[in-house]
Amino acid sequence: MEERPETELISIPATPRASTPEILTPSGQRSPRPASKEAKSSTAWTPTSFISPRFLSPIGTPMKRVLINMKGYLEEMGHLTKLNPQDAWLPITESRNGNAHYAAFHNLNAGVGFQALVLPVAFAFLGWSWGILSLTIAYCWQLYTLWILVQLHEAVPGKRYNRYVELAQAAFGERLGLWLALFPTVYLSAGTATALILIGGETMKLFFQIVCGPLCSSNPLTTVEWYLVFTSLCIVLSQLPNLNSIAGLSLIGAITAITYSTMVWVLSVSQQRPPAISYEPLSLPSFSASVFSVMNALGIVAFAFRGHNLAMEIQATMPSTFKHPAHVPMWKGAKVAYFFIALCLFPVAIGGFWAYGNLMPSGGILNALYGFHSHDIPRGLLAMTFLLVVFNCLSSFQIYSMPVFDSFEASYTTRTNRPCSIWVRSGFRVFYGFISFFIGVALPFLSSLAGLLGGLTLPVTFAYPCFMWVLIKKPSKYSFNWYFNWILGWLGVAFSLAFSIGGVWSMVNSGLTLKFFKPPN
Protein backbone atom coordinates (compact mmCIF):
# COMPACT_ATOMS: atom_id res chain seq x y z
CA MET A 1 0.00 0.00 0.00
CA GLU A 2 1.31 3.47 -0.91
CA GLU A 3 2.23 5.79 1.90
CA ARG A 4 0.39 9.07 1.93
CA PRO A 5 2.32 12.26 2.51
CA GLU A 6 2.26 13.47 6.07
CA THR A 7 0.63 16.75 5.09
CA GLU A 8 -2.46 14.91 3.89
CA LEU A 9 -2.74 12.89 7.10
CA ILE A 10 -2.99 16.04 9.26
CA SER A 11 -5.22 18.06 6.93
CA ILE A 12 -8.76 18.86 8.05
CA PRO A 13 -11.36 17.97 5.40
CA ALA A 14 -13.98 20.37 6.77
CA THR A 15 -11.87 23.37 5.83
CA PRO A 16 -11.16 23.95 2.13
CA ARG A 17 -7.44 24.08 1.46
CA ALA A 18 -7.94 26.96 -0.98
CA SER A 19 -8.77 29.28 1.93
CA THR A 20 -5.35 29.16 3.54
CA PRO A 21 -3.62 31.60 1.14
CA GLU A 22 -6.08 34.33 2.18
CA ILE A 23 -6.77 36.18 5.40
CA LEU A 24 -9.95 37.90 6.51
CA THR A 25 -9.45 41.59 7.29
CA PRO A 26 -11.53 43.46 9.90
CA SER A 27 -13.51 45.15 7.15
CA GLY A 28 -14.76 41.74 5.98
CA GLN A 29 -12.74 41.76 2.75
CA ARG A 30 -10.29 39.02 1.84
CA SER A 31 -6.76 40.10 1.02
CA PRO A 32 -3.98 37.80 -0.20
CA ARG A 33 -1.16 36.86 2.08
CA PRO A 34 2.30 38.12 1.09
CA ALA A 35 4.08 35.88 -1.38
CA SER A 36 6.76 33.62 0.01
CA LYS A 37 9.39 35.33 -2.11
CA GLU A 38 8.61 38.70 -0.53
CA ALA A 39 8.59 37.16 2.90
CA LYS A 40 12.06 35.73 2.36
CA SER A 41 13.42 39.00 1.03
CA SER A 42 12.10 41.03 3.95
CA THR A 43 14.50 41.09 6.88
CA ALA A 44 12.94 43.96 8.86
CA TRP A 45 11.64 42.93 12.29
CA THR A 46 8.08 43.71 13.35
CA PRO A 47 6.21 42.62 16.47
CA THR A 48 4.47 39.96 14.35
CA SER A 49 7.72 38.48 13.05
CA PHE A 50 7.47 35.64 15.56
CA ILE A 51 4.40 34.43 13.63
CA SER A 52 6.62 32.80 11.03
CA PRO A 53 6.60 29.37 9.36
CA ARG A 54 9.63 28.32 11.39
CA PHE A 55 7.90 29.25 14.64
CA LEU A 56 4.57 27.76 13.57
CA SER A 57 5.92 24.47 12.18
CA PRO A 58 5.20 22.39 15.31
CA ILE A 59 1.74 23.95 15.76
CA GLY A 60 -1.37 22.37 14.30
CA THR A 61 -3.15 23.82 11.32
CA PRO A 62 -6.11 25.40 13.23
CA MET A 63 -3.84 27.30 15.60
CA LYS A 64 -1.62 28.29 12.70
CA ARG A 65 -4.60 29.71 10.83
CA VAL A 66 -5.73 31.69 13.89
CA LEU A 67 -2.30 33.23 14.38
CA ILE A 68 -1.97 34.11 10.70
CA ASN A 69 -5.36 35.79 10.78
CA MET A 70 -4.30 37.70 13.88
CA LYS A 71 -1.14 38.81 12.09
CA GLY A 72 -3.15 40.07 9.13
CA TYR A 73 -5.52 41.92 11.45
CA LEU A 74 -2.69 43.65 13.29
CA GLU A 75 -0.91 44.63 10.11
CA GLU A 76 -4.13 45.90 8.53
CA MET A 77 -4.99 48.05 11.54
CA GLY A 78 -1.49 49.47 12.01
CA HIS A 79 -1.09 47.99 15.48
CA LEU A 80 2.10 49.86 16.29
CA THR A 81 0.59 53.33 16.05
CA LYS A 82 -0.28 54.82 19.43
CA LEU A 83 -3.16 57.24 18.90
CA ASN A 84 -3.64 60.23 21.13
CA PRO A 85 -7.34 60.39 22.12
CA GLN A 86 -7.18 64.17 21.95
CA ASP A 87 -6.44 63.99 18.21
CA ALA A 88 -10.04 62.89 17.57
CA TRP A 89 -11.18 66.30 18.86
CA LEU A 90 -8.85 68.53 16.81
CA PRO A 91 -9.56 69.85 13.30
CA ILE A 92 -6.40 68.49 11.66
CA THR A 93 -6.71 64.90 12.90
CA GLU A 94 -10.47 64.75 13.50
CA SER A 95 -11.02 63.06 10.14
CA ARG A 96 -8.55 60.54 8.71
CA ASN A 97 -10.26 59.58 5.47
CA GLY A 98 -8.00 61.59 3.17
CA ASN A 99 -6.50 60.21 -0.03
CA ALA A 100 -4.13 61.09 -2.86
CA HIS A 101 -6.73 63.37 -4.49
CA TYR A 102 -7.18 65.38 -1.30
CA ALA A 103 -3.39 65.61 -0.94
CA ALA A 104 -3.10 67.01 -4.47
CA PHE A 105 -5.87 69.57 -3.86
CA HIS A 106 -4.41 70.75 -0.53
CA ASN A 107 -0.80 70.92 -1.75
CA LEU A 108 -1.75 72.81 -4.89
CA ASN A 109 -3.96 75.24 -3.01
CA ALA A 110 -1.21 75.86 -0.47
CA GLY A 111 1.60 76.01 -3.02
CA VAL A 112 0.23 78.49 -5.56
CA GLY A 113 -1.05 81.91 -4.66
CA PHE A 114 -0.32 85.61 -4.63
CA GLN A 115 3.41 85.00 -4.02
CA ALA A 116 3.74 83.69 -7.59
CA LEU A 117 2.59 87.04 -8.98
CA VAL A 118 5.66 88.88 -7.62
CA LEU A 119 8.22 86.51 -9.18
CA PRO A 120 8.78 88.84 -12.18
CA VAL A 121 9.88 91.50 -9.66
CA ALA A 122 12.76 89.23 -8.66
CA PHE A 123 13.71 88.74 -12.32
CA ALA A 124 13.92 92.52 -12.73
CA PHE A 125 16.86 92.50 -10.27
CA LEU A 126 18.39 89.15 -11.26
CA GLY A 127 18.05 89.18 -15.06
CA TRP A 128 17.30 86.22 -17.32
CA SER A 129 20.13 83.82 -16.46
CA TRP A 130 20.26 84.19 -12.69
CA GLY A 131 16.50 84.47 -12.43
CA ILE A 132 15.78 81.19 -14.23
CA LEU A 133 18.70 79.43 -12.50
CA SER A 134 17.65 80.50 -9.01
CA LEU A 135 14.01 79.56 -9.64
CA THR A 136 15.00 76.11 -10.95
CA ILE A 137 17.35 75.39 -8.05
CA ALA A 138 14.76 76.53 -5.51
CA TYR A 139 12.10 74.32 -7.11
CA CYS A 140 14.27 71.18 -7.05
CA TRP A 141 15.49 71.94 -3.53
CA GLN A 142 12.04 72.36 -2.03
CA LEU A 143 10.76 69.27 -3.84
CA TYR A 144 13.52 67.23 -2.18
CA THR A 145 12.74 68.65 1.27
CA LEU A 146 9.04 67.92 0.74
CA TRP A 147 9.94 64.29 0.02
CA ILE A 148 11.90 64.25 3.29
CA LEU A 149 8.90 65.52 5.27
CA VAL A 150 6.62 62.93 3.68
CA GLN A 151 9.03 60.12 4.61
CA LEU A 152 9.53 61.39 8.18
CA HIS A 153 5.82 61.44 9.00
CA GLU A 154 6.08 57.89 10.37
CA ALA A 155 9.85 57.58 10.66
CA VAL A 156 9.61 56.15 14.18
CA PRO A 157 7.45 52.99 14.52
CA GLY A 158 4.40 53.65 16.67
CA LYS A 159 4.40 57.42 16.22
CA ARG A 160 2.76 59.70 13.66
CA TYR A 161 4.10 63.25 13.59
CA ASN A 162 0.87 65.02 12.73
CA ARG A 163 2.24 68.56 12.88
CA TYR A 164 5.43 70.25 11.77
CA VAL A 165 6.26 71.36 15.31
CA GLU A 166 5.95 67.77 16.59
CA LEU A 167 8.50 66.60 14.02
CA ALA A 168 10.84 69.44 14.94
CA GLN A 169 10.61 68.50 18.62
CA ALA A 170 11.39 64.87 17.80
CA ALA A 171 14.48 65.93 15.84
CA PHE A 172 15.85 68.86 17.86
CA GLY A 173 14.43 68.16 21.32
CA GLU A 174 11.31 69.40 23.07
CA ARG A 175 12.39 72.95 23.90
CA LEU A 176 14.78 73.67 21.01
CA GLY A 177 12.38 72.20 18.45
CA LEU A 178 9.56 74.36 19.78
CA TRP A 179 11.66 77.52 19.60
CA LEU A 180 13.00 76.77 16.13
CA ALA A 181 9.74 75.73 14.46
CA LEU A 182 6.92 77.52 16.29
CA PHE A 183 7.68 81.10 15.21
CA PRO A 184 8.20 80.48 11.46
CA THR A 185 5.25 78.10 11.14
CA VAL A 186 2.88 80.44 13.01
CA TYR A 187 4.29 83.34 11.03
CA LEU A 188 3.64 81.46 7.79
CA SER A 189 0.08 80.59 8.80
CA ALA A 190 -1.03 83.82 10.47
CA GLY A 191 1.12 86.13 8.33
CA THR A 192 -0.10 84.55 5.11
CA ALA A 193 -3.72 84.76 6.30
CA THR A 194 -3.28 88.48 7.03
CA ALA A 195 -1.64 89.10 3.67
CA LEU A 196 -4.51 87.24 1.98
CA ILE A 197 -7.01 89.59 3.64
CA LEU A 198 -5.10 92.60 2.26
CA ILE A 199 -4.78 91.19 -1.23
CA GLY A 200 -8.31 89.77 -1.31
CA GLY A 201 -9.85 93.02 -0.10
CA GLU A 202 -7.96 95.21 -2.56
CA THR A 203 -8.73 92.81 -5.41
CA MET A 204 -12.44 92.92 -4.56
CA LYS A 205 -12.25 96.70 -4.69
CA LEU A 206 -10.62 96.63 -8.14
CA PHE A 207 -13.13 94.04 -9.34
CA PHE A 208 -15.98 96.30 -8.25
CA GLN A 209 -14.41 99.27 -10.03
CA ILE A 210 -13.94 97.31 -13.25
CA VAL A 211 -17.44 95.85 -13.28
CA CYS A 212 -19.21 99.01 -12.14
CA GLY A 213 -17.08 101.45 -14.16
CA PRO A 214 -18.39 105.01 -14.34
CA LEU A 215 -21.74 103.92 -12.93
CA CYS A 216 -20.27 103.48 -9.44
CA SER A 217 -21.95 105.42 -6.67
CA SER A 218 -20.45 108.62 -5.39
CA ASN A 219 -19.69 106.99 -2.02
CA PRO A 220 -17.91 103.70 -2.79
CA LEU A 221 -16.55 101.49 -0.03
CA THR A 222 -13.12 102.38 1.26
CA THR A 223 -10.21 99.93 1.12
CA VAL A 224 -10.57 99.10 4.83
CA GLU A 225 -14.25 98.38 4.34
CA TRP A 226 -13.39 95.98 1.51
CA TYR A 227 -10.94 94.28 3.92
CA LEU A 228 -13.85 93.84 6.31
CA VAL A 229 -16.07 92.38 3.60
CA PHE A 230 -13.41 89.86 2.61
CA THR A 231 -12.74 88.98 6.27
CA SER A 232 -16.44 88.30 6.83
CA LEU A 233 -16.50 85.90 3.87
CA CYS A 234 -13.42 84.13 5.25
CA ILE A 235 -15.06 83.72 8.66
CA VAL A 236 -18.18 82.22 7.13
CA LEU A 237 -16.15 79.65 5.18
CA SER A 238 -13.96 78.89 8.20
CA GLN A 239 -16.90 77.26 9.99
CA LEU A 240 -16.15 74.02 8.12
CA PRO A 241 -15.01 71.71 10.92
CA ASN A 242 -11.74 70.06 9.85
CA LEU A 243 -9.02 69.86 7.24
CA ASN A 244 -10.67 67.10 5.21
CA SER A 245 -13.93 69.05 5.08
CA ILE A 246 -12.26 71.88 3.13
CA ALA A 247 -11.03 69.56 0.35
CA GLY A 248 -13.70 71.02 -1.94
CA LEU A 249 -12.50 74.54 -1.19
CA SER A 250 -8.91 73.44 -1.86
CA LEU A 251 -10.02 72.06 -5.23
CA ILE A 252 -11.63 75.41 -6.05
CA GLY A 253 -8.49 77.20 -4.90
CA ALA A 254 -6.29 74.95 -7.04
CA ILE A 255 -8.42 75.42 -10.16
CA THR A 256 -8.64 79.20 -9.74
CA ALA A 257 -4.88 79.48 -9.08
CA ILE A 258 -4.01 77.58 -12.25
CA THR A 259 -6.58 79.56 -14.25
CA TYR A 260 -5.66 83.07 -13.16
CA SER A 261 -1.92 82.35 -13.30
CA THR A 262 -2.34 81.23 -16.90
CA MET A 263 -4.62 84.16 -17.77
CA VAL A 264 -2.24 86.72 -16.28
CA TRP A 265 0.83 85.69 -18.24
CA VAL A 266 -1.11 84.95 -21.45
CA LEU A 267 -2.79 88.37 -21.37
CA SER A 268 0.55 90.02 -20.61
CA VAL A 269 2.52 88.44 -23.46
CA SER A 270 -0.33 88.93 -25.94
CA GLN A 271 -0.27 92.71 -25.52
CA GLN A 272 2.23 95.13 -26.98
CA ARG A 273 5.20 95.59 -24.73
CA PRO A 274 5.75 99.02 -23.14
CA PRO A 275 8.20 101.36 -24.89
CA ALA A 276 11.76 101.62 -23.59
CA ILE A 277 11.58 98.13 -22.13
CA SER A 278 14.89 96.64 -21.01
CA TYR A 279 15.94 93.25 -19.69
CA GLU A 280 19.10 94.39 -17.98
CA PRO A 281 19.03 94.00 -14.18
CA LEU A 282 18.07 97.21 -12.42
CA SER A 283 21.14 99.26 -11.58
CA LEU A 284 21.36 100.92 -8.19
CA PRO A 285 23.64 103.80 -7.17
CA SER A 286 25.97 101.79 -4.91
CA PHE A 287 27.43 98.30 -4.79
CA SER A 288 25.95 97.59 -1.36
CA ALA A 289 22.49 98.62 -2.57
CA SER A 290 22.84 96.24 -5.52
CA VAL A 291 23.86 93.36 -3.24
CA PHE A 292 20.96 93.94 -0.86
CA SER A 293 18.48 94.19 -3.72
CA VAL A 294 19.72 90.88 -5.15
CA MET A 295 19.33 89.27 -1.71
CA ASN A 296 15.80 90.63 -1.50
CA ALA A 297 15.05 89.27 -4.99
CA LEU A 298 16.30 85.81 -4.00
CA GLY A 299 14.09 86.06 -0.92
CA ILE A 300 11.11 86.67 -3.22
CA VAL A 301 12.03 83.49 -5.13
CA ALA A 302 12.23 81.55 -1.85
CA PHE A 303 8.87 82.94 -0.71
CA ALA A 304 7.26 81.64 -3.91
CA PHE A 305 7.58 78.11 -2.53
CA ARG A 306 5.35 77.76 0.49
CA GLY A 307 3.23 75.02 1.96
CA HIS A 308 5.88 72.86 3.64
CA ASN A 309 4.56 74.01 7.01
CA LEU A 310 1.33 72.19 6.09
CA ALA A 311 2.82 68.96 4.73
CA MET A 312 2.65 67.03 8.00
CA GLU A 313 -0.87 68.26 8.67
CA ILE A 314 -2.11 67.20 5.22
CA GLN A 315 -0.58 63.74 5.62
CA ALA A 316 -2.12 63.43 9.09
CA THR A 317 -5.59 63.39 7.50
CA MET A 318 -4.89 60.04 5.82
CA PRO A 319 -5.30 56.56 7.26
CA SER A 320 -2.10 54.60 7.67
CA THR A 321 -1.39 50.90 8.16
CA PHE A 322 1.58 48.63 7.62
CA LYS A 323 0.20 47.50 4.28
CA HIS A 324 -0.99 50.94 3.19
CA PRO A 325 1.25 53.63 4.77
CA ALA A 326 0.14 57.23 4.47
CA HIS A 327 3.30 58.37 2.68
CA VAL A 328 2.29 56.54 -0.53
CA PRO A 329 -0.90 58.52 -1.36
CA MET A 330 0.63 61.69 0.06
CA TRP A 331 3.62 61.55 -2.29
CA LYS A 332 1.41 60.67 -5.25
CA GLY A 333 -0.74 63.72 -4.60
CA ALA A 334 2.28 65.95 -3.95
CA LYS A 335 3.92 64.98 -7.25
CA VAL A 336 0.79 65.87 -9.20
CA ALA A 337 0.40 69.14 -7.28
CA TYR A 338 3.99 70.28 -7.82
CA PHE A 339 3.82 69.44 -11.51
CA PHE A 340 1.00 71.98 -11.82
CA ILE A 341 2.82 74.38 -9.49
CA ALA A 342 5.75 74.38 -11.92
CA LEU A 343 3.34 75.04 -14.79
CA CYS A 344 2.12 78.11 -12.89
CA LEU A 345 5.33 79.59 -11.46
CA PHE A 346 7.74 79.33 -14.39
CA PRO A 347 5.43 80.83 -17.07
CA VAL A 348 4.38 83.67 -14.74
CA ALA A 349 8.00 84.54 -13.92
CA ILE A 350 9.36 84.20 -17.46
CA GLY A 351 6.31 85.56 -19.31
CA GLY A 352 5.89 88.46 -16.91
CA PHE A 353 9.53 89.53 -17.22
CA TRP A 354 9.37 89.20 -21.01
CA ALA A 355 6.26 91.39 -21.16
CA TYR A 356 7.43 94.18 -18.83
CA GLY A 357 11.17 93.74 -18.28
CA ASN A 358 12.63 95.93 -15.57
CA LEU A 359 9.58 98.20 -15.81
CA MET A 360 7.82 95.64 -13.61
CA PRO A 361 6.20 97.52 -10.68
CA SER A 362 6.87 96.38 -7.13
CA GLY A 363 3.38 94.89 -6.83
CA GLY A 364 3.99 92.19 -9.45
CA ILE A 365 2.51 91.08 -12.75
CA LEU A 366 -1.14 91.66 -11.83
CA ASN A 367 -0.25 95.23 -10.87
CA ALA A 368 1.53 95.66 -14.21
CA LEU A 369 -1.37 94.18 -16.17
CA TYR A 370 -3.83 96.57 -14.54
CA GLY A 371 -1.54 99.58 -14.86
CA PHE A 372 -0.30 99.14 -18.43
CA HIS A 373 -3.20 97.39 -20.18
CA SER A 374 -6.38 98.18 -18.25
CA HIS A 375 -7.70 100.04 -21.35
CA ASP A 376 -6.49 97.45 -23.89
CA ILE A 377 -7.98 94.29 -22.42
CA PRO A 378 -11.75 93.68 -22.43
CA ARG A 379 -13.26 94.53 -19.09
CA GLY A 380 -14.84 91.09 -18.84
CA LEU A 381 -11.49 89.27 -19.02
CA LEU A 382 -9.87 91.66 -16.57
CA ALA A 383 -12.79 91.35 -14.15
CA MET A 384 -12.71 87.53 -14.39
CA THR A 385 -9.00 87.52 -13.57
CA PHE A 386 -9.53 89.60 -10.44
CA LEU A 387 -12.52 87.48 -9.41
CA LEU A 388 -10.44 84.29 -9.68
CA VAL A 389 -7.81 85.89 -7.44
CA VAL A 390 -10.51 86.61 -4.86
CA PHE A 391 -11.72 82.98 -4.92
CA ASN A 392 -8.17 81.70 -4.57
CA CYS A 393 -7.50 84.00 -1.61
CA LEU A 394 -10.68 82.80 0.12
CA SER A 395 -9.64 79.16 -0.35
CA SER A 396 -6.02 79.69 0.69
CA PHE A 397 -7.12 81.49 3.85
CA GLN A 398 -8.86 78.33 5.06
CA ILE A 399 -5.96 75.91 4.69
CA TYR A 400 -3.39 78.34 6.11
CA SER A 401 -5.61 79.14 9.09
CA MET A 402 -6.31 75.50 9.97
CA PRO A 403 -3.07 75.02 12.02
CA VAL A 404 -3.97 78.10 14.06
CA PHE A 405 -7.49 76.77 14.66
CA ASP A 406 -5.91 73.47 15.69
CA SER A 407 -3.66 75.24 18.22
CA PHE A 408 -6.59 77.13 19.74
CA GLU A 409 -8.64 73.97 20.15
CA ALA A 410 -5.66 71.97 21.45
CA SER A 411 -5.21 74.49 24.26
CA TYR A 412 -8.92 74.36 25.08
CA THR A 413 -9.20 70.56 25.08
CA THR A 414 -6.04 70.23 27.17
CA ARG A 415 -7.47 72.51 29.85
CA THR A 416 -11.02 71.17 29.86
CA ASN A 417 -10.45 67.54 28.80
CA ARG A 418 -13.43 67.67 26.45
CA PRO A 419 -13.94 68.57 22.79
CA CYS A 420 -14.90 72.04 21.67
CA SER A 421 -18.57 72.69 21.23
CA ILE A 422 -19.83 74.26 18.01
CA TRP A 423 -20.10 77.65 19.69
CA VAL A 424 -16.60 77.55 21.14
CA ARG A 425 -15.13 76.45 17.80
CA SER A 426 -17.01 79.20 15.98
CA GLY A 427 -15.89 81.75 18.56
CA PHE A 428 -12.23 80.85 18.05
CA ARG A 429 -12.53 81.27 14.30
CA VAL A 430 -14.40 84.56 14.46
CA PHE A 431 -11.81 85.86 16.92
CA TYR A 432 -8.91 84.79 14.67
CA GLY A 433 -10.48 86.30 11.57
CA PHE A 434 -10.94 89.71 13.12
CA ILE A 435 -7.50 89.66 14.75
CA SER A 436 -6.02 89.07 11.28
CA PHE A 437 -8.17 91.93 9.98
CA PHE A 438 -6.93 94.37 12.62
CA ILE A 439 -3.31 93.36 12.01
CA GLY A 440 -3.82 93.93 8.29
CA VAL A 441 -5.29 97.38 8.89
CA ALA A 442 -2.44 98.29 11.25
CA LEU A 443 0.23 96.92 8.88
CA PRO A 444 -1.09 97.57 5.35
CA PHE A 445 2.40 97.16 3.86
CA LEU A 446 2.66 93.51 4.96
CA SER A 447 1.80 92.09 1.54
CA SER A 448 4.74 93.91 -0.06
CA LEU A 449 7.34 92.27 2.21
CA ALA A 450 7.78 89.13 0.12
CA GLY A 451 11.57 89.22 0.43
CA LEU A 452 11.54 89.55 4.20
CA LEU A 453 8.85 86.90 4.60
CA GLY A 454 10.83 84.57 2.36
CA GLY A 455 13.97 85.04 4.41
CA LEU A 456 12.32 84.55 7.80
CA THR A 457 10.41 81.44 6.81
CA LEU A 458 13.01 79.90 4.51
CA PRO A 459 14.36 77.39 7.10
CA VAL A 460 10.94 75.69 7.31
CA THR A 461 11.14 74.82 3.61
CA PHE A 462 14.84 74.54 2.80
CA ALA A 463 16.85 73.94 6.00
CA TYR A 464 15.00 72.19 8.82
CA PRO A 465 13.92 69.11 6.80
CA CYS A 466 17.56 68.34 5.94
CA PHE A 467 18.61 68.55 9.60
CA MET A 468 15.62 66.43 10.63
CA TRP A 469 16.57 63.69 8.17
CA VAL A 470 20.07 63.43 9.61
CA LEU A 471 18.94 63.55 13.25
CA ILE A 472 16.05 61.08 12.91
CA LYS A 473 17.17 58.70 10.15
CA LYS A 474 20.82 58.83 11.25
CA PRO A 475 22.57 58.00 7.95
CA SER A 476 26.13 56.68 8.12
CA LYS A 477 28.49 59.35 9.34
CA TYR A 478 30.60 60.98 6.60
CA SER A 479 28.53 59.26 3.90
CA PHE A 480 27.25 61.16 0.86
CA ASN A 481 23.74 61.30 2.38
CA TRP A 482 25.16 62.70 5.62
CA TYR A 483 27.27 65.39 3.94
CA PHE A 484 24.57 66.30 1.41
CA ASN A 485 21.88 67.02 4.00
CA TRP A 486 24.18 68.87 6.40
CA ILE A 487 25.45 71.12 3.58
CA LEU A 488 21.92 71.81 2.29
CA GLY A 489 20.71 72.58 5.80
CA TRP A 490 23.45 75.07 6.61
CA LEU A 491 23.15 76.68 3.18
CA GLY A 492 19.47 77.18 3.94
CA VAL A 493 20.29 78.87 7.26
CA ALA A 494 22.87 81.15 5.60
CA PHE A 495 20.46 82.11 2.83
CA SER A 496 17.78 82.80 5.42
CA LEU A 497 19.98 85.34 7.17
CA ALA A 498 21.09 86.95 3.93
CA PHE A 499 17.57 87.18 2.47
CA SER A 500 16.19 88.60 5.72
CA ILE A 501 18.83 91.34 5.71
CA GLY A 502 18.02 92.09 2.08
CA GLY A 503 14.30 92.20 2.88
CA VAL A 504 14.84 94.64 5.78
CA TRP A 505 17.01 96.84 3.58
CA SER A 506 14.36 96.89 0.85
CA MET A 507 11.65 97.65 3.39
CA VAL A 508 13.55 100.55 4.93
CA ASN A 509 14.54 102.07 1.60
CA SER A 510 11.01 101.85 0.25
CA GLY A 511 9.70 103.77 3.24
CA LEU A 512 7.08 101.09 3.95
CA THR A 513 4.93 102.54 1.20
CA LEU A 514 4.73 99.62 -1.22
CA LYS A 515 1.27 98.33 -1.93
CA PHE A 516 0.45 95.13 -3.72
CA PHE A 517 -1.94 96.64 -6.24
CA LYS A 518 -0.67 100.21 -6.38
CA PRO A 519 -0.92 101.13 -10.08
CA PRO A 520 2.37 102.24 -11.67
CA ASN A 521 2.80 105.85 -12.66
- Is position 55 within any domain? no
Proportion of the chain above pLDDT 70, given as a percent: 78
d(CA 287, CA 264): 34
The mean pLDDT of 94-103, rounded to a whole number, is: 90
Query: 82 pLDDT band (50/70/90 cuts)?
Result: low
Long-range contacts of 266-270 (CB under 8 A, 24+ apart): 266/351, 267/369, 267/373, 267/377, 267/381, 267/385, 268/351, 268/352, 268/355, 268/356, 268/365, 268/368, 268/369, 268/373, 269/351, 269/354, 269/355
- Is position 90 within any domain? no
Tell me: pLDDT of 449 over 80.
no
Q: Residue 245, class by beta-carbon neighbours within 10 Å (0-12 exposed, 13-18 middle, 19+ buried)?
A: middle
Query: 64 pLDDT band (50/70/90 cuts)?
Result: low
Query: 155 pLDDT band (50/70/90 cuts)?
Result: confident
- Is position 255 within any domain? yes
The mean pLDDT of 377-399, rounded to a whole number, is: 90
Tell me: pLDDT of 516 over 60.
no
Name residue 426's beta-bridge partners. none
The mean pLDDT of 362-385, rounded to a whole number, is: 84
Query: 423 pLDDT band (50/70/90 cuts)?
Result: very high
- Is position 485 within any domain? yes
d(CA 299, CA 496): 8
Taking only the tens place, the pLDDT of each residue in 124-153 is 999 999 999 999 999 999 999 999 999 999
pLDDT at site 451:
58
pLDDT at site 341:
94
- Is position 170 within any domain? yes
161: which DSSP letter?
Answer: -
Proportion of the chain above pLDDT 90, given as a percent: 42
pLDDT at site 120:
92
Taking only the tens place, the pLDDT of each residue in 253-267 is 999 999 999 999 999
Q: Is-contact 413 389, C-beta < 8 A? A: no
d(CA 517, CA 357): 18
Tell me: pLDDT of 520 over 50.
no
CATH at residue 220: 1.10.4160.10
Q: Which residue segment(s) compose the domain that 416 sits in? A: 97-510
- Is position 476 within any domain? yes
pLDDT at site 499:
81
Taking only the tens place, the pLDDT of each residue in 327-353 is 999 999 999 999 999 999 999 999 999
The CA distances from residue 107 to 110, 271, 492, 513, in Å, are 5, 32, 22, 32
- Is position 177 within any domain? yes
- Is position 420 within any domain? yes
Taking only the tens place, the pLDDT of each residue in 158-213 is 788 999 999 999 999 999 999 998 888 888 888 888 889 988 998 898 888 888 77
Structural domain tally of the chain? 1
